[in-house]
Amino acid sequence: MIEPLVSVVIPVKNGASLIGETIGSVLSQSYKNLEVIVVNDHSDDHTFALVSEMSKHDGRLKLIDNQTEKRGA
């Protein structure tokens, strides 16, 4: 039996100091049929670059980059 896909959505803005640990914690869960969707809300630190690099190494990680100001993730 195939386990259902679980989607974890993480909204973030200027979270470079914690986003790696957050994503790592989710991806290290024993349940493996999951996807992590990070919605970057117009960060002006290096959050986008960090998540983008991480997504190259794990296909379960998706990045959505919201470039619209003052609208929220």
Residue 73 lies in a domain: no
**Domain span holding position 20:** 6-66
Judge whether 30 lies within some domain.
yes
Residue 16 forms part of a structural domain? yes
pLDDT, average across residues 29-58? 96
- Do residues 35 and 60 touch, judged by C-beta distance below 8 A? yes
Please compute the mean of the pLDDT values over residues 29-57 and round it to a whole number. Answer: 96
- Is there a domain that residue 59 lies in? yes
Higher pLDDT, 1 or 61: 61
**Mean pLDDT of the residues in the chain:** 93
Q: pLDDT digits over 6-39, tens only?
A: 999 999 999 999 999 999 999 999 999 999 999 9
- The total of structural domains in the chain comes to 1
Q: Residue 44: pLDDT above 60?
A: yes
58 located within any domain: yes
Give backbone dihedrals phi and psi of 27, rounded to 5 degrees, phi first. -70, -20
Average confidence (pLDDT) over 52-58: 97
